[in-house]
Structure 1
Amino acid sequence: MKMVKSTKFKALIFLSLSIFSVPIFSQTKISPYLFGQNAWAPSEIFRVEDQIKAVHYQAIRIGGNGYENEDFIFKDAVKLIDFARSVGAEPILQMPRQLKDNNKAYQAIAYINGEMHRNIKFWSIGNEPDHHNQLASVEEVNDFFKKISAQIKSYDPEAKIIGFDLSSYKASYLDRLLGGDLDVSGKIPGKNYYYLDVVSFHGYKFSDITKFEGEVNQLTSVLKRLNISRPKNQQLNWAITEFNSHWLVDPSLGNDYLPFNFHNGQMYAQAYDLGMRKGAFTICPWSMLEGGAHRTGTDLSLFDEFNGTYLPRSNFYHTQLLAQNFRQNYLEHSKSLDGIVVIPMGDKNGLSIMVLNTGDKEIDYSLNFGKSNLINNTNSISVDAHINKVYRSKINSETTQMLVFNKKGVLLKKYSYSKNEAELMKPPIIEK
């Protein structure tokens, strides 16, 4: 995060919100599975089940290197599927690459969806084949992916298949698998359905989402080309199925790479915002509980653990503020100001706007709901709604607000969550 001299700063932000009295003209439908998370670690997560349920996650990925083995489906998968559904989320289940031969993947889905009646509809195939833990060549990925996808879809043609869960975005892999010499984006021979439905990748060790943004832009450009030949109801989509600011706690890199502080939560919110803006299928950070929740080693958790009590961190609360106030559409808006990020969602029930102040300047702002009142200046953020109202407030430095309005533009709730609350392990403050 770029730090500037701490002074009180005042500017006007004008948001005119076009959503209620006329059809929304600049919107993106948000995936109903957008707000995701990873079910790791497999035993410890049951200690925080009630807290995870309170977030309102929409998807839970059951995947990762620890699940990439032949025994996983038959030993551990069912209890994790049940966990995901108990917290109100739809499971995304990893089919290990080790089940590619001798009809083993078919037997696995027959066990999960047939014998155990768990009706999984989202399947990922393998995990991080580009990582040294279980390294595979692109040729090997092509082989196990096609074999497993064909087996899954022979049992359930409606299943959605996700691949390839690369450890990072690698054009050298994807160029060959997506329309290249080892293409897996086409139809399964003799069938009317495709091998691949969602392209996924992971990302770690970054201080902001700039790199993600570029990678998503590159990937969506490829998918747009491939989707020309696919029917509208079978378009390829994308997902980020693991991410965090780093894969371990390394204070030497500076605060922006630490996975437990206030900045990390604001970065989670911006990653979800990227998913909304660019039409992602799901965004799944890593993870619920990892590395003991004591801010050392590989602690990438949502919680700090003190004497058996799990206290939510900034990444938990930022996700909860967005997910609990979910609206069906992401509203296009003009460019944000320096240090300010606006995340607007809306539908027939109202409007939810998250405002992030990532800098150390206090900012006065106005939300302008009326088109006739729209003021054209360098400090305006425009999302026009044809409501003759103006909401005025201010946001402190390093603070996040969630504003919830009804369909007439009347403020119903205001939440405020700052770096101070995060450091004291306190929840957001309800100001209205």
Structure 2
Amino acid sequence: MTGVFSLLPEGRPGLLEPPAAAARLSGGVEDVSRYLAAGGYAALPVPGRLLDRIAAVGLRGRGGSGFPAAVKLRAVRDAPGVPVVVANGEEGEPGSVKDRWLLRHRPHTVLDGIRLAAAMTGAERGWVYLSDAPAERAVRRALAERPAGPPIDVVRTEHTYVAGEETAVVRRVDGGPALPRAKPPRPFESGVGGAPTLVANVETLARIALMHARPEAADTVAWAHLVTLSGTSGTRAGAGPGDTAVLAEVPAGTRLGALADLCGRRSAGSVLLGGLFGGLHGTGWADLPLDHDRLSAAGGALGCGALHFLHPEDCPVAVAAEAVAYLAAQSARQCGVCVSGTRALAETLEAVARGEADTETSGRLRRWSQGLPGRGACGLPDAAARVAGSLLTHFPDRVEGHRVFGCPACADAGAPPDDGRRFTVPVP
């Protein structure tokens, strides 16, 4: 199953149209006249009033961390200097498509969000940061069509896992490599050209634009999420997500089991949360709600909203080994602890999958998964640690079973691929 779906209540505004209209929209780019007729590019509000509304409804960033959007906007506004705004459309997570879809099909909504963010922070210019060629074409066309607004440029980068990290975004916009840098300073303090910089995910900005156009529905807009749903058909060497690429807009609190149904994975045995950032979750996963705080309390993370459902025949050890192998290959190789830590995790998980672990292996994995987070310039080692730690938490019997009895499927598959193929999905 592939497609674009909205599960929002009928008549409530969203970034995805109701199903029938969404099917039409997904074939083309947002039309400026249609966007204007729907309230887009409306007169600029009193900046403080819109910011207060964003704070009141609790809009959180959609780039992965779920940081309160109003707090970030105010920090940029209050920093010394003239701010700038960067719309971050570089999806590092291989299982996420929402940002590319928005830039390809709703570019005016994103540009309107930049305009509003600039008004709230006092910024005088902006950038759209991306790596997707179709998205770039759509954005450039929309820039030529839009009404007057702050000057906005487009910066293209190479697609990597770390290229969307906010300090990597700043470095690339400044003409350097798309690699994270040590913090502080953070971009809100000193970003592009040394100016206070708002690096905001494109979905966050699009939701701000929709809230401005439909203020009566601000709660619905703020508490809906774009989620990318995928899944495999069972363990096999070099497994890919097959035909399950679904982009959906759903209310916060939707049970993960309902999302598995939506992409035809009702029988899934477990789930990989938040792209590769949220870790694996086993028993009870279907009853978990789509909610930052409640997923965190359960030991996971919503991240960018990408959910990969594992078929009952999928081996969670193999999935974890592939995820960490990919992360190790994607390391920026700037932080020694990341290079050595993610490589050690990847090599050890590969040994577990081959049935070559010893009685000390689980203990080493646990120590590394607890000691690695927070020690790199970006979240890549944190993601690797969470995947390894969640495997031990939710599937200790499978890890031990590989040590004692082996796993023919894992042994026959050879070394786990490090290209992310299992998790990569096409843009619907």
TM-score by length of 1: 0.33
User: Relative to total residues, which structure has the larger strand share, 1 or 2?
Assistant: 1
Does 1 or 2 have the higher relative contact order (CA < 8 Å, sep 6+)? 1
TM-score by length of 2: 0.33
